[in-house]
Amino acid sequence: MTAEVISGTELARTIREEIRGQVSEFEAAHGSVPGLATVLVGEDPASQAYVGMKNRAAQEAGIHSRQITFPAETSEAELLGCVEGLNADPGIHGILVQLPLPEQVREEVVLEAVAPHKDVDGFHPVNVGRLQAGVPGVLPPCTPKGIVEILLRSGHDPEGKHAVIIGRSNIVGRPMASLLLQKGRGGNATVTVAHSRTRDLAEVARQGEILIVAIGRPHFVTASMVRPGAVVVDVGVNRVDDPNSERGYRLVGDVAFDEVREVAGAITPVPGGVGPMTIAMLLSNTLQAAKASLEGHG
């Protein structure tokens, strides 16, 4: 058996087209477009690249995009003042503060300063709690939301299935479990959350009809850890040395793709799997936040 390769790039392209159409409808109905503000502190090349991609994607979808860039030595107070201004701006519906932040700025303080109804990253404790409680309309973190779309749109509805998540981070593992457990579209799964300290991890992983891997270790999951025919979603993005590459490295996932592909029923690649879906879900959350603002939610 050779697994079907699920292209997150193709799915994301379709979703972004759908969002562009919905943004046009929003503008026609309300005379304005959703607004997204991205806040970047410092000159980290990876962060600059990520923010650039997010802004371009927003603009292509017809979403108003405003990037605010601060020097690396910016104080926490200055950054909080910026967030306060964006919270009060009726033309901005989504606020994204790019992480990591410089050491003099406490990430948790800045993230908690973002108004929950504008928190399109889904990291505010209020939104974390709402997601855990199954409150409808919450803005979930973009990566888990994107994984749910990958599963649904590739014909692998999680309902009634046993999903095993390897990784318990606040960005992927925990919110992923909450989404898969919720009642309704993309939920109703039976969920096991495993991690690096799980006893007999390979045996636990093999139970998953859906296996979602977000442990941050290159090629950690091998064929022997995968149930035959399982759907494997690889969230990992790891740099490994590659002297044959121009850059001297290549990107690989947390799953040993070539060998797992011979066991799984379907698998996402790295790159071109979960990554593009994360950006598409940022646009989706921004549109959702704009609609909610008109309905007086948040």
Residues marked as catalytic: 54, 98, 121
- DSSP code per residue over the chain: --PEEP-HHHHHHHHHHHHHHHHHHHHHHHSS--EEEEEEES--HHHHHHHHHHHHHHHHTT-EEEEEEE-TT--HHHHHHHHHHHHH-TT--EEEEPSPPPTTS-HHHHHHHS-GGGBTT--SHHHHHHHHHT-TT----HHHHHHHHHHHHTT---TT-EEEEE---TTTHHHHHHHHHSSSTT---EEEEE-TT-TTHHHHHTT-SEEEE-S--TT-B-GGGS-TT-EEEE---EEEE-TTSTTSEEEE-SB-HHHHTTT-SEE--SSSSHHHHHHHHHHHHHHHHHHHHHTT--
Question: Is omega for the bond preceding 271 within 30 degrees of 0, making it cis?
Answer: yes
